[in-house]
Chains A and B, each alone.
Chain A
Amino acid sequence: MTKVSMTVNGKAVSGEVEGRTLLSSFLREGLGLTGTHVGCDTSQCGACVVHVDGKPVKSCTVFAADVAGASVKTIEGMANADGSLSVIQQAFQDHHGLQCGFCTPGMVMSSAALLAENPKPTEAEVRHYLDGNICRCTGYHNIVKAVMAASGQDVSALAAE
């Protein structure tokens, strides 16, 4: 066991980890941040996406020890300071971009990363960027719509609500 320290959602944290402890396990079991989900064992589903130093990573594929000293942001750190939903979170609610909620943390983290890189993505760009995030409930329609809406684009023509 070795001690690892990092910043998670703006707070300094540390804990004892084994060499094989994954970042997802450290967040979930070590820190109790269970919003980060694990939906597969092959780095495909994307439910575990968090930001490490601003970049989206699949936390099930990173050893906790490898991100010592980094700044990690999880779904629990996405809301505004006053607790209200951030723009991307609010767009997911407004446009029904989630159903069972299991893939949602990863979807939100990936979508936020996309908008940071590309503030006005096209539909095709959104779909391409989210290729590493699997959703079984929504058929992706309302997720794509929510991301485009969060970027300030008019999505009213996409479906009546």
Chain B
Amino acid sequence: MPKDHGIGASTKRREDIRFLTGRGVYTDDMALHGQTFAVFVRSTVAHGRIKSINTAKAAGMPGVLAIFTGEDFKDVGGNPAGWLINSRDGTPMREPKRPVLAHGKVRHVGDAYAAVIAETYAQARDAAEQLAEDSVIEELPAIIDMKAAVADASNRVHDEIPDNLCFDWGWIEDNRAAVDAAMQAAPHKVTLELVNNRLVPNAMEPRASIGEYNPGTGDYKLTTTSQNPHLTRLLVAAFVLGIPENKLTVVAPDVGGGFGSKIYHYGEEALVLAAAKKLGRPVRWTAERSESFLTDAHGRDHVTKIELGCTKDGQILAIRTETLANVGAYLSNFSTATPTFLHGTLMAGPYKVPHVYVNVKTVFTNTAPVDAYRGAGRPEATFSLERVIDKMCRELNLDPFEVRRKNLLTPDQFPYTTPVGLVYDTGNYQATLDKAMAMADVSGFAKRAAESKARGKLRGMGLSTWIEACGIAPSHLVGILGSRVGLYDAATVRVNATGNISVMVGAHSHGQGHETVFPQIVAEKLGIPESSIEIVHGDTSKIPFGMGSYGSRSLAVCGTAMAKAVDKIIAKGKKIAAHMLEASEGDITFEDGKFQVAGTDKAKTFGEIAFSAYVPHNYPLETLEPGLEETAFYDPANFTYPAGAYICEVEVDEGTGKVDVVAFHCADDFGNVMNPLIVEGQVHGGVGQGIGQALCEFTAYDETGQLLTGSYMDYPMPRAEDVPFYNVDYSCQTPCTHNPLGVKGCGEAGAIGSPPAVVNAVIDALQRGGHTHVTHIDMPVSPSRVWSAING
């Protein structure tokens, strides 16, 4: 019988009520007294020198209140990169300043070089168009292709960086010679060159920000579409504008999806704050979708050569990769960590591989910044690995299921130290593989393929066994690796006088359902109803200093902080109960919401203890503070390691090249599951995005740096007709060994594990159909690419 409340119950989401009735409050839904509107003037060329910006005409237009250019911000700080990566030779990465508004040069189409503030949006837009007309920008040759960028020292995105290279990173450099030797000695070597296609995150709510300033107090307020309001506050206050953090409140209200793109601080946030101070009025900006395409941090964009050395029977001996990673025109906040420590450290996968070496050269180009997008580095690693293993199986005529099984780590090998710097704490990869194979009815494939053939379609099956490192992240470890922040989280549990509870958390929910799941955990631990617990998030003036939500960290890191704060509440409750019940503290037990003297019927309810804490008439005031409120910070001891096996079946139309995903099976190990309904939803969404990457999504810049896929008319978002129902299982559970909830995180799994399963299935279909010359197709595996591969 499934549970109907507490941990493990499929509690329906309480936040749905406001979303389903139109009562959610997103940033753009707020109307403020005296508000003004900002519109940005954005570069229409990918690379150019700003010769002049004549503001006179625009400034005189109806309703215009202020105009800002890069000149106004040249003396404030830049938006910093959050990780310092060193090159193989020990030199630090090149780190050009990222200004609030472009100054001197524009470096990608959409790069904002001026902003107009006016009484109405239409007036601001009219004046911005005039200002664009009155600006002279000398177009320079665009640097778009990564290989050309590093080869041509004469043309530079940043004048001070001669080869457009941010860094040349080796992981682990000391292992390089041993890996080269193992590769040389391997009986068989497989090489695959591939592209991990650039994606636009496309949260459905466009970015939006509102700046406010109170001249009477000197207080600023930023309401913004952020996954991590405290991180945004730190960046905009301490690094960019030089505002004391205690004078800035950042609020991230209802946020319509993030997928990584709303982790980062963007210049628009600094602009609306500076403008609000200058005008003494609220200044608001909401991106049009076109602006989102041009300026949200994009994802992926790797060009990789992966080599795999193995025995003739498929035992992997060595893996070596060389990657060019596009970082775009500027370093977004996590952009240097994504292709390195979120990518190279996963290159051993769930396998026992003795020798692994990863080289990543990160390149500046005249394109939008590239940063973490759902999965962030781990999808790139998984795709490279699972594709090259599939190619190995074809070259050696081996069964892809058995080859995975042969190479997977076994449960007795944990904890396992990989050759790329991680320690996997626990797992059972055979179990998820077995489960996925059972779900997919692998043995019945031949019959299904025959049925497809009868309908004129080629059927293929693809497998991916994936692992990720999430629950980001142990501060001591990421500090060694170059992180400039800690990655703990925090929660405050406030028991109110009548026993209901407010929990203030550093995590931010922008679709994940924290408002429902977090109370399930507190309720389970305290033995009180979920309905008497409320989650408060997204407002730096209310919540403790936590690092927000990304990297599948909310539950594993912030949830743990919350559980620890609840433990402190229980510990204090025992002291109060001991006093009230005239017993020794050690004799007090707490179960089902009751503090009891062990072995007696003397007890106090949780509500009675809470009341006593706030009305301390019979209370040990000489030794214990009144009140019942506790805060815990939690810094994880290790990453968590969700893993699983995904099996995809596709049908390919040889005549048109169209691929249909006809079945998708996911067997995941997320450790303990708090709310199955929500976990399933997270997997569905991740797989949907992964199928999107595999089959349709593509971000195309032409050679002059114009974004060809800058709207939903051109960028093919997966729609309801493009995807099937997904078959999801999470019953294989090896609980995380180093957090008390035993949770691993489920937010990114689908996006990590699914793309190679889809592409492997397409190649399988084509091979079975006799197109044996087709050994790889780059994503998106679009009809034209499939047709060209078949007929090429």
Contacts and interface: CB of A to CB of B under 8 A. Distances in A.
Task: Please say whether chains A and B are actual partners in one complex.
Answer: yes
Interface of A: 18, 20, 28-29, 32-42, 44-45, 47, 74-76, 78-79, 85, 89, 92-94, 96, 98-105, 108, 123, 126-128, 130-131, 133-145, 158-161
A40 B678 contact: no
Contacts of B486: none
B447 to A, nearest CB: 21
Given A42-B289, A136-B689, A92 B20 contact: yes
Instruction: Name the interface size band of chain B.
Output: 35 or more
B204 A100 contact: yes
A161 B8 CA distance: 11
Given A136-B203, A137-B511, A142-B684, A101 B721 contact: no
Given A99-B681, A102-B256, A136 B202 contact: yes
A136 B720 contact: no
B21 A138 contact: no
Contacts of B719: 127, 130-131, 134, 140
Contacts of A96: 12-13, 677-678, 680-681
Contacts of A136: 202-204, 257, 259, 685, 689, 717
B205 A37 contact: yes
A126 B720 CA distance: 8
A57 to B, nearest CB: 17
Residues of A contacting B: mostly:
loop
A92 B149 CA distance: 49
Nearest to A104: B19
A138 B676 CA distance: 14
Q: Which 4 A-B residue pairs are closest in the complex by CB-CB distance?
A: A35-B22, A139-B688, A102-B256, A101-B19
Interface string B10-40: 1011011111111111101101000000000
B35 to A, nearest CB: 11
A143 B689 CA distance: 15
Contact of A100 (B28, B205, B711): B205
A133 B255 CA distance: 19
Nearest to B729: A160
9 contacts: A42-B289, A96-B677, A98-B20, A108-B20, A134-B204, A135-B720, A139-B686, A141-B684, A141-B723
A101 B24 contact: yes
Nearest to A130: B720
Contact of B31 (A32, A42, A94, A108): A32
A146 to B, nearest CB: 10
A123 B10 CA distance: 24
Contacts of B205: 37, 39, 100, 102
Given A76-B21, A102-B205, A134-B717, A39 B289 contact: yes
B99 to A, nearest CB: 27
A76 to B, nearest CB: 4
Contacts, number: 191
B688 A138 contact: yes
Nearest to B201: A136
Given A39-B205, A102-B204, A159 B20 contact: no
Contacts of A142: 680-681, 684
B681 A100 contact: no
B723 A39 contact: no
B288 interface: yes
Contacts of B685: 99, 136-139
B505 interface: no
Contacts of B680: 96, 142, 159, 161
A55 B676 CA distance: 36
A102 B26 contact: yes
Interface of B: 10, 12-13, 15-26, 28-29, 31, 122, 202-206, 254-257, 259, 288-290, 510-513, 676-678, 680-681, 684-689, 691, 711-713, 717-721, 723, 725-728, 750
Contacts of A29: 31
Given A29-B31, A44-B713, A36 B22 contact: yes
A101 B728 contact: no
Q: Counting chain B CB atoms within 10 Å of each CB, which of A28, A45, A99, A140 scores highest?
A: A99
Contacts of B26: 34, 37, 102
A159 B16 contact: no
Contact of B24 (A35, A94, A130, A141): A35
A76 B18 CA distance: 10
Contact of B723 (A44, A99, A139): A139
Contact of B203 (A100, A108, A161): A100
Nearest to B15: A101
Nearest to A141: B684
A41 B19 contact: no
Contact of A101 (B254, B684, B750): B254
B22 A33 contact: yes
B128 to A, nearest CB: 15
Contacts of A99: 257, 511-513, 681, 685
Contacts of B17: 85, 93
Given A45-B204, A136-B689, A105 B13 contact: no
Given A35-B22, A100-B257, A141-B725, A42 B712 contact: yes
A158 to B, nearest CB: 6
Contact of A102 (B12, B257, B678, B684): B257
B720 A131 contact: yes
A153 B15 CA distance: 26
A34 B723 contact: no
Given A134-B719, A139-B726, 16 more contacts: A34-B29, A35-B23, A42-B289, A42-B711, A78-B22, A89-B20, A96-B677, A98-B16, A100-B203, A101-B24, A136-B685, A138-B688, A139-B691, A139-B750, A142-B684, A159-B728
A103 B254 CA distance: 13
A143 B206 CA distance: 22
A75 B22 contact: yes
A44 B256 contact: no
Nearest to A75: B22
Given A37-B205, A131-B720, A134-B712, A93 B12 contact: yes
Contacts of B23: 35, 76
Contact of A138 (B24, B206, B259, B681): B681
A101 B16 CA distance: 7
Contact of B256 (A89, A100, A126): A100
B725 A159 contact: yes
Contacts of B256: 37, 39, 100-103
B492 to A, nearest CB: 25
A139 B22 contact: no
Contacts of A41: 288-290, 711
B688 A140 contact: yes
B713 A42 contact: yes
Given A34-B29, A101-B511, A142-B681, A93 B257 contact: no
A57 B10 CA distance: 35
A105 B688 contact: no
Contacts of B728: 159
A161 B677 contact: yes
Contacts of A135: 204, 720
B365 to A, nearest CB: 26
A89 B259 CA distance: 25
Nearest to B286: A38
A55 B295 CA distance: 35
Given A93-B16, A100-B511, A47 B204 contact: yes
B13 A100 contact: no
